[in-house]
């Protein structure tokens, strides 16, 4: 592993150089929130951000894209949404989010759309600082060992830059004079101090070790019904979650000379028609059944398959769900705590 030092002021110069290689996407401000967007103006790049509204999965699998053009002659793949990109400013949790999606999309039948975008995207990670919703320490996704080409740790006056791949190394070689191989003891001390302080900065903790068992033992607990009653079935939790992968497919028919299209769009298991089969039978008409599927997937299924939860602790569901159904409140409810969440109040109103 090579670790280099980059002066703060040299970051934009470095980005300018690599901008010639590909479009750069980075967190930028939108209202009081942040979004991953294409960079037109380097000064708009935000270095100290909390989570973006939508995770960078949108770059690997756009919310809506065409898989095939077709007509009477057959199906033609459409990869036109895939282009070379450099993602700068992606946090460890979101890199873990991509590693989690990799498992699903690349195993057994590799998804060429996902893989195409993944291979054309360089990942330039950036360190971050937890806010009240972050709990990546609990999911052990606060530390990143793979899945990036370069990783920048922001130590105020300078960055420590980890080189994680030969492509990352190629980028550094485009501006070799900006990077310093010699780290002083003081630099190393600064990093260790930062690391220790960050460990202590987390305000939310969740014990994921007990979750698979609790999902099983509390599968019939009454709080599921309460949460189900309050859930708006809006699907927002799935849109913002970096590890939600579900999608829907619909055909647009061809007319005249225009080809038909097979459109793939993000979907959510919280939506009513998610489990409906042809003929109208729905296996999960009840919202609580759909929430159970969501949480089985996050807290239990992945653990049994891959030894860790598919939640990466980004806190987006906490920041997003309008009625307060999220990994934290559900975990607390599973642990038997009386949670003070909006859905609890709602369900009380409903039953009054």
Binding site for ligand SF4 (CB under 6 A): 231-237, 240-243, 270, 298, 311-317, 320-323, 325-327
Contact partner, 243, from ligand SF4, another protein, none, Cβ < 5-8 Å per class: ligand SF4
> Least Å distance between CB 42 and ligand SF4?
28
Partner from another protein, ligand SF4, none binding residue 60, C-beta < 5-8 Å depending on class: none
C-beta of 48: minimal distance to ligand SF4 in Å?
20
Measured CA to CA, the distance from residue 313 to residue 92 in angstroms comes to 10
CA atoms within 13 A on the CB side of 189: 3
Q: Where are the beta strands (DSSP E) in 19-149?
A: 23-30, 33-38, 64-71, 74-77, 85-90, 121-126
CB nearer another protein, residue 8 or residue 305: 305
CB of 297 to ligand SF4, least distance (A): 9
Q: Residue 77 touches which of ligand SF4, another protein, none (CB < 5 to 8 A by kind)?
A: another protein
Nearer to another protein, 3 or 293 (CB): 293
- Which among 119, 188, 118 is positioned nearest to 153, based on CA atoms? 188
Q: Which does 241 bind (CB under 5 to 8 A by kind): ligand SF4, another protein, none?
A: ligand SF4
| CB 278 to ligand SF4: min, Å | 24
CB distance 92 to 144 below 8 Å: yes
With CB under 5 to 8 Å by kind, the binding choice for 232 among another protein, ligand SF4, none is ligand SF4
**Phi and psi for 7 in degrees, rounded to 5?**
-65, 145
State which residue, 322 or 336, has the beta carbon closest to ligand SF4. Answer: 322
What stretches of the chain adopt beta strand conformation (E)? Answer: 2-7, 23-30, 33-38, 64-71, 74-77, 85-90, 121-126, 150-154, 158-163, 179-180, 247-252, 260-266
Strand partners, 261: 69, 252
Q: Which residues of the shown chain bind another protein in the complex (CB under 8 A)?
A: 67-68, 70-72, 74-75, 77, 79, 84, 104-105, 107-112, 115-116, 119-120, 122, 167, 170, 219, 245-254, 260, 262, 267, 269, 274-280, 283-284, 289, 293, 296-297, 300-301, 304-305
């Amino acid at each position: 592993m090579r670790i280099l030092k980059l002066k703060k002021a040299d970051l934009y110069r470095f980005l300018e150089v690599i901008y010639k290689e590909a479009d750069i996407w980075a967190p930028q401000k939108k209202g009081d929130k942040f979004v991953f967007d294409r960079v037109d103006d380097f000064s708009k790049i935000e270095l100290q951000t909390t989570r973006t509204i939508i995770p960078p999965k949108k770059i690997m699998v756009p919310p809506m894209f065409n898989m095939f053009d077709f007509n009477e002659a057959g199906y033609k793949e459409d990869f036109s949404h895939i282009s070379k990109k450099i993602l700068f400013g992606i946090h460890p949790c979101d890199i873990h989010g991509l590693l989690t999606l990799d498992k699903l999309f690349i195993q057994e039948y590799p998804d060429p759309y996902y893989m195409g975008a993944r291979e054309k995207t360089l990942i330039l990670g950036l360190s971050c600082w937890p806010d009240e919703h972050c709990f990546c320490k609990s999911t052990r996704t606060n530390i990143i060992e793979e899945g990036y080409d370069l990783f920048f740790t922001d130590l105020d006056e300078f960055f420590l830059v980890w080189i994680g791949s030969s492509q990352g190394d190629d980028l550094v070689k485009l501006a070799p004079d900006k990077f310093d191989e010699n780290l002083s003891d003081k630099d190393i001390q600064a990093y260790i101090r930062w690391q220790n302080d960050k460990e202590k900065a987390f305000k939310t903790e969740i014990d994921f070790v007990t979750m698979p068992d609790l999902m099983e033992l509390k599968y019939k607990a009454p709080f599921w019904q309460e949460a189900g009653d309050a859930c708006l079935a809006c699907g927002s939790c799935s849109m913002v979650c970096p590890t939600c992968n579900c999608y829907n497919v619909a055909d647009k028919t061809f007319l005249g000379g225009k080809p038909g299209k097979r459109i793939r769009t993000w979907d959510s298991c919280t939506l009513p028609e998610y489990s409906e089969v042809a003929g109208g039978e729905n296996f999960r008409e009840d919202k609580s059944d759909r929430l159970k599927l969501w949480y089985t997937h996050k807290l239990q299924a992945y653990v049994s398959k891959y030894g860790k939860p598919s939640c990466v602790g980004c806190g987006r569901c906490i920041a997003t769900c309008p009625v307060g159904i999220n990994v934290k409140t559900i975990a607390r409810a599973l642990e038997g705590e009386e949670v003070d969440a909006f859905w609890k109040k709602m369900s009380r109103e409903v039953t009054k």
